[in-house]
Amino acid sequence: MFMRSALVMLFVALCTSLAAQTITLSNGPVIAGGTTPSGANAVAAASFNLARSGANSLFTALTLVNGGTATGSDYVRYQLWRENDNNGQFSGGDLLLASANSPSLAFSGFSTQVPISPATFYVSVDVAAGATDGRTFQLSITAANVTVSQGTKTGGPVNGPTLTVSTPTQLVITTQPGGALGGTAFTTQPVVEVRNASNVLVTSFSGNIAVAKSAGPAGTLSGTLVVAAVGGVGTFTNLSIDLAGTGYQLTFTTGSLTPAVSTPFAVSVGSANKLSVQTQPGGASGGLAFATQPVIHVLDAGNNLVSASSATVTAAITSGTGTAGAALGGTTAQAASSGVATFSNLSINLAGTGYSLTFTATSLTSAVSATFNVTVGSATQLAVQAQPGGASGGQAFTTQPVVHVLDAGGNLVTSSGLSISAAISTGTGTAGSTLGGTTAQAASGGVASFSNLSIDLAGSGYRLTFSATGVSSVDSALFNVIVGAAAKLAITTQPAGSTGGVSLAAQPVVVVQDAGGNLVSSSGATVSASITPATGTGGATLLGTTSQAAAAGVATFTNLAIDLAGTGYSLTFASAGLTSAISGTFNITVGAAASLSVSTQPAGASGGTQFATQPVVQVVDAGGNLVTGAGNSITVSIKAGTGTTGAALSGTLTLAASGGVATWLDLAIDLAGTAYELEFNDGSLPTATSAAFDVTIGSPVALRVATDPAGAVQATVFATQPQIEIVDAGGNRITSDNTTQISVTIVASTGTAGAVLSGTTPVTMTAGLATFTDLEIDLPGADYELEFSDGALSPVRCAAFDVAGLPTLLGVSTQPASATAGALLGVQPAVEVRDAAGALVANDNSTQITVAILGGSGTPGAVLSGTLTLTVVNGVAAFTDLAIDLVGTGYQLSFTAAPALTPVDSAVFDVSTPATQLVVFTQPSLADPGVVFGQQPVIHLTDALGNIATGDSSTQVTATILSGTGTAGATLFGMATVTAVNGVATFTNLGIDLAGNGYQLTFVSTPVLTPTASNSFSVGTVSVGGGDSKDDEGCSTSGQSGMTLWLALALAVAGFTVRRMRRA
């Protein structure tokens, strides 16, 4: 039943769909009508659109109706096309569906989809070559003419344009040419139509129409001479004829059609348009007027002379022609007369080839002449080609003048050999000066090159005049003759004597001069001064700045001095490339004491022994000359930072100079070392320092204990074995000694009677040091001493030492304490290895100590963690990271040893819980402004049950005024942060500066525990209730008598006591 209903519904839907299917015919793109020539192919004759609604349908056939007069003989075929290139017009890109050959009007045998959106179709006609003129095509299409595969057809009819057969036979001029001026487009351009035999315009014609001049003068027809007809009409736009004249005619042609000839017309002279060179320039030589002057015509666009023109024509050398820099002379602007501009005196100055002239006039096209040459003319003048320069007194100019012989245009006359003379121009330069060198020079190739001219006197504004027979003379540019190059030195201020090492009384001044002795003010030459050889005292040194750069040619010395006294000194001054100068003589005398000088250096020093060479110090002047009258008291010392640290200088350390000389005799240094230096000082003059010297090791004089024995345990090799060294008088070890033997014994009456020293003895020194390795004493005891001897030098004893007994038992030197469950013990235990007498066995570095919770102590199941076994260091095991996990009381730790010693247990201690909160145990009270509280707060660190964390001795508690309580702006002073001890933080000196009621303190901690706050209290008033949680009524102590204050205090204490009792 269900299947039958479904089929019925499907059938109804299908029928409904078919019933709704419609094919609509409508107009296609517009097609222009008009004429069409016989023989034309694919001429668009109609267009239409087809669209569908509903199911698919195919367009399969079409029948046309021709409403025109054309018959079957007027066409070859019709063709049906479908729009394919989507350009909205009939074109070669469209798709051909079918053809209907004459005389048929029906298309069939094709099939194409009718789309939902309109599809465009075209019908074209191929017109027969023998079609009769005047016949028409006017196609129409109705819906009934359209055949489709299915659907209802509607719309239409569609009518095509009327096409009339019209065959062109002739050309006809509809607009004659006119308004012609030479070379200018006619103001009236010709228009030509293509017509048929009935003289009707053939609008379909689009072929080319050509024009040519067929009558008139020899002018040339220009412009676009061939145009394409549009709608059968050929329109010319830019025709012109160059030459003026009458009787011109134009002929228009196209193919085999009958041509058309214009009526005769004239071409008149036009307006001025351009210039033309009628007469070319020629016969030019430098600076002279051309033999042939140019003549210029003003022409219209057709090259006709515009006789009415008076335009001003300007001439110029054409850019890029002739010789660069050439100038056109004469009257270069000429007004035309009857259209003709005639130039009369043009010239060009510079010779050259390939010149041309350009002629211009406003708004006219310029004209350029033919090329021509300008030759060199006769000699008429001189010119300075290279100016004289670089002149210095008496020296040949560095730039010598060069003079050219020129024609009138300034061109070099290469054929000239004129003799040219040079002279100083009158009234220039320095009076009395002379021009030296070869002053007359014959030109060669028109060029006279001078080579050695000079002027003796320096001066400014010199000029030279050059002259020759038959030509104009010429003057050089102005130039100066400067002072010549530096040639020598001269002393303008002589040096004068002084004392040794002190600046000369008169400092020399040296000038730089040229060869003629003139100051060379431009010189910055460096002048060096030195003592003239073989003058003064041999070995003397010139001090100060001995090289001085000249400033403006003057070198002024400022601080020259000579160290050694003497007579007959002179100075020599020199500078590279210049002649030296030598000063007059002068003397240097001994000056005042200025410094100390070590004349004999200390040497030959060994430890503790007087130097073999003792130092000698002189009192000298600034130049190092001995001041024989000086008696200065001079003290010697080791210079800090030299030699061996801690060394001591011995002997007579202070001496008075005699005749300016202090001679030491007994100086010595105790410690050997290198690079010692001695300093000598008299308290006023600069300190003198000796040269560096070494103190060597001397001869052996004594034995010395270098290392005392230590760490001695009964019958055990000392932990620290003694070392004995052999030293010189200064206490320096004799490192060269590798033979001396040292014996050792116990000093009688020291240590324990009957004790025996064993080990290797004697021991041979190595590098001056005897090192014992295996000494031991069999009996324990105190204050042992050992004596060491080599049999030659005095024996030496070591410091007293003890011999401990053998390790026997353990002892706790630091008890564990401050324990909190799960945290490191606040006080970690330390255990010692001791002998039977309880003394520390300090040389024990091997025994291992193990710790454990003593059985039966503390909380069952508790675990001790950390490093439980340690190796003793110097007899001590210091534990660092022990912790117990469970809270409890009565804990003890047990310590055992390996190898086995008597064990030991710690003292009893408790393990508390970790603190979680702060609790105010003692409230702050008895507060006056600016005074510490009479009762300071005490804070307990407790667990959640209120038990004090007695193991906490590290938490820091900080107090502050609770925000919003007390008096605004009040400050809490005193130590506001304290560290808890055994779980209790006790404040000692807190106070508040401002009086007020309702204060509370808040307490926080690091690490963070739950904070707490105090009860309210007053500052400057006494709470009778003693600080209950709410503010108490109280009376102010401010301004009260002493009795009132004591009464208030007593009441407060009473109230506090009662409250404590209530709590209890």
In a domain, 227, yes or no: yes
DSSP 120-172: EEEEEEEE-TTPPTT-EE-EEE-GGGEEESSSEEEE--EEPPPEEE--EEEEE
- C-alpha distances out from residue 97 to 14, 30, 107, 1012, Å: 31, 20, 9, 105
DSSP 1017-1034: EEESEEETT-S-SSPPPE
Q: Taking the CA of residue 241 as centre, how many other CA atoms within 13 Å lie in the half-sphere pointing to its CB?
A: 29
In a domain, 11, yes or no: no
pLDDT of residue 20: 58
Three-state SS letters, 725-761: EEECCCCCECCCCCCCEEEEEECCCCCCCCCCEECCC
Beta bridge partners of 587: none
From CA 977, how far away is CA 909, in angstroms rounded?
28
From CA 573, how far away is CA 555, in angstroms rounded?
10
Give which of 355, 345, 446 is closest to 405, Cα–Cα. Answer: 446
Beta bridge partners of 450: none
Q: 994 and 1007 in contact (C-beta within 8 Å)?
A: no
- C-alpha distances out from residue 375 to 372, 385, 410, 856, 925, Å: 10, 20, 12, 141, 129
DSSP 543-587: ES--EEE-BTTEEE----EESS-EEEE-EEEE-TTSB-EEPPPEE
Same domain, 681 and 724: no
- Dihedral sign (CA 486, 487, 488, 493): negative
Same domain, 869 and 988: no
User: How many CB atoms are located within 10 Å of the residue 414 CB?
Assistant: 13
**CATH number of the domain residue 119 falls in:** 2.60.40.1290
From CA 542, how far away is CA 508, in angstroms rounded?
13
From CA 330, how far away is CA 289, in angstroms rounded?
8
In a domain, 903, yes or no: yes
Last residue of a domain, one of 342, 358, 375: 375
From CA 492, how far away is CA 155, in angstroms rounded?
131
**CATH number of the domain residue 255 falls in:** 2.60.40.3960
pLDDT of residue 65: 93
Last residue of a domain, one of 349, 375, 401: 375
Same domain, 925 and 1050: yes
pLDDT of residue 629: 92
Same domain, 280 and 262: no
Sequence-distant (6+) residues with CB within 8 A of 1063 are none
- C-alpha distances out from residue 160 to 91, 104, 124, Å: 17, 18, 10
Give which of 815, 843, 838 is closest to 828, Cα–Cα. Answer: 815
Token pair in block for residue 1042: 């002493």
Same domain, 663 and 720: no
In a domain, 868, yes or no: yes
pLDDT of residue 514: 78
Residues of the chain with confidence (pLDDT) below 50: 1-19, 1022-1064
Same domain, 692 and 645: yes
Same domain, 49 and 149: yes
Q: 217 and 242 in contact (C-beta within 8 Å)?
A: no
In a domain, 15, yes or no: no
User: How many CB atoms are located within 10 Å of the residue 776 CB?
Assistant: 18
Give which of 83, 95, 13 is closest to 55, Cα–Cα. Answer: 13
Sequence-distant (6+) residues with CB within 8 A of 380 are 287, 406, 407, 408, 471, 472
- End-to-end, the C-alpha distance of the chain in Å comes to 101
Peptide bond into 103 cis (omega under 30): yes
Same domain, 55 and 121: yes
Type of residue found at 550: A
Last residue of a domain, one of 326, 359, 375: 375
pLDDT of residue 152: 94
pTM of the predicted model as reported, rounded to 2 decimal places: 0.37
In a domain, 158, yes or no: yes
**CATH number of the domain residue 560 falls in:** 2.60.40.10
Counted domains in the chain: 9
Q: 60 and 111 in contact (C-beta within 8 Å)?
A: yes
Domain that holds residue 583: 488-589
Same domain, 968 and 1040: yes
In a domain, 16, yes or no: no
Task: Provide the 8-state DSSP code for 303.
Answer: S
In a domain, 238, yes or no: yes
Same domain, 27 and 154: yes
From CA 86, how far away is CA 95, in angstroms rounded?
11
Same domain, 321 and 396: no
Same domain, 616 and 678: yes
Give the total residue count for the chain.
1064
Token pair in block for residue 728: 């010189």
